[in-house]
Structure 1
């Protein structure tokens, strides 16, 4: 079917309709990726509306990380089977990107909630709260002083977060196990953890129940200074340690310039307090 003059759009009109910059369209023409339907004697490029479908596919594949060379190879040899195979493959890419975006959103929400919570914190007080069960990702098991945590632990935990599609900088914390708490030792780390619903690791949980919550301002390696006060408070109020302690920084280097101003929350899992 012959093209009618009324079917043709100038490169400027096609650029506006497709939302692809004019310079990009010229570049695609020059590399034989996407050529205009007609080029006039004066060199002006013209396109037809049906080409919007093709430029749309190019844009989507490019956004999903395909190289221009791979896109060109697909367009040159496209068929129903090759298109189906490519679409299925790109569907997996899209699902991975959705997972990453969801966790990026979760990271921002967690950090925003931590900051909002920190604005009303009284570091001189300890409180008991009833905490719902929360999903976590744990690192491999260790038993080391927080000042001697090795590189392998950090690498292991970051690799686990990466496998879950969590972005760099996803908030995390440390777990001090019940056995060390009973020995009144708040320095020994058993796990690193993050609040996250896992897809590629066994799902662990911070148990539902009562927690003694305390806060202190400290750098990453100095949070054990709050534990003597925690143990004294537990003894004074006849609380019984039921499980682990969970440390998380509400304010860290993302928020504060001075490490001594970081704010850590420590939650110790205890038996339900006796009613007075």
Structure 2
């Protein structure tokens, strides 16, 4: 018999308070996670207001990724001491998730910024600009790799960026040496790279030397890169420069923003030195 001094709620009423459907409460009862305070002889279920806090803790633990099985295990051994330990564990998980979300937010900000900048570029222009020193994170050396080795190197590099939380949102590019470019081997990259505007300690980085860089844009598939390089060399020689040590390539528009490879845009940055 119901205690008239205590307010009880039917399954529907309690489900409304908890903002879930009735089936969720019935399922929790079936697995022994949260049973009604009272079940009368007619099979009606009644919940007390005190059980709302119980329900809210279950939802809290679910929200941070804890499985119903693990929640059941805690409930079977619950105590104030175990609860404090559990809350401390979940607090650490939340802190880690917050750090991960901050990284994701930073990546989104960079991708928005670089895309907005790209919208104002004139892809027919070739310019010579001063570049400040930049910090890059590099892959292992991939020069003279086969197509199969190159594909694996890309996959390994992306996995490494994810594992070490070094994905900054900037495009992954390729570094080619002066010797390979002069030989016409434009896609024989020595390293993959990604810019690190805020490098963290404990990782090996490459410093792209500050200085003059000639910048141009290649529109279309990579097999046609030679035509754009020829244009760059022409301007470079006309302006009295010679090729420096490294050339950097990275996509401005790729499959994320364009359907056809003919519309892809590759940014080419060639280190140059004034001929004395």
Residue 237 of structure 1: aligned partner:
239
Distance, in Å, in 1 between the alignment partners of 2:131 and 2:4 is 70
Distance 1:94 1:220, change over 3 A: farther
Distance, in Å, in 1 between the alignment partners of 2:93 and 2:254 is 33
**Could you tell me which of 228, 231, 239 is aligned with 2:230?**
228
The answer (yes or no) to whether the contact 2:172–2:194 under 8 Å persists in 1 is yes
**Could you tell me which of 201, 204, 217 is aligned with 1:202?**
204
- Stretches of structure 2 that go unaligned for 5 or more consecutive residues are none
Residue 125 of structure 2: aligned partner:
125
Most deviating of 177-186 and 71-80: 177-186
- Stretches of structure 1 that go unaligned for 5 or more consecutive residues are none
- Paired residues for 1:1-276 under 5 Å: 5-144=5-144, 149-165=149-165, 171-178=171-178, 180-181=180-181, 185-196=185-196, 201-204=203-206, 206=208, 208-220=210-222, 222-239=224-241, 241-270=243-272
Distance, in Å, in 1 between the alignment partners of 2:37 and 2:75 is 15
Offset from partner CA, 1:74-122 (integer Å, 9 cap, x none):
1211234444443444344334433443343334333333433333332
Distance, in Å, in 1 between the alignment partners of 2:78 and 2:7 is 25
Distance, in Å, in 1 between the alignment partners of 2:194 and 2:93 is 25
Deviation of 1:132 (Å): 5.0
Distance 1:133 1:41, change over 3 A: farther
The answer (yes or no) to whether the contact 1:37–1:46 under 8 Å persists in 2 is yes
Distance, in Å, in 2 between the alignment partners of 1:100 and 1:240 is 44
Distance, in Å, in 1 between the alignment partners of 2:53 and 2:226 is 61
Deviation of 1:186 (Å): 2.6
The answer (yes or no) to whether the contact 1:147–1:221 under 8 Å persists in 2 is no
Distance, in Å, in 1 between the alignment partners of 2:265 and 2:25 is 52
Distance, in Å, in 1 between the alignment partners of 2:19 and 2:166 is 31
> Given the two structures, how large is their TM-score scaled by the length of structure 2?
0.78
Distance 1:102 1:81, change over 3 A: same
Offset from partner CA, 1:137-156 (integer Å, 9 cap, x none):
32112213696753331232
Larger Rg, first or second structure (1 or 2): 2
Distance, in Å, in 1 between the alignment partners of 2:146 and 2:262 is 16
Distance 1:247 1:17, change over 3 A: farther
Distance, in Å, in 1 between the alignment partners of 2:99 and 2:3 is 45
The answer (yes or no) to whether the contact 1:134–1:208 under 8 Å persists in 2 is yes
Distance, in Å, in 2 between the alignment partners of 1:209 and 1:21 is 64
The answer (yes or no) to whether the contact 2:170–2:195 under 8 Å persists in 1 is no
The answer (yes or no) to whether the contact 2:111–2:170 under 8 Å persists in 1 is no
SS of residue in 2 equivalent to 1:247 = strand
> Given the two structures, how large is their TM-score scaled by the length of structure 1?
0.78
Distance, in Å, in 1 between the alignment partners of 2:222 and 2:57 is 48
The answer (yes or no) to whether the contact 1:177–1:243 under 8 Å persists in 2 is yes
Distance, in Å, in 1 between the alignment partners of 2:141 and 2:59 is 45
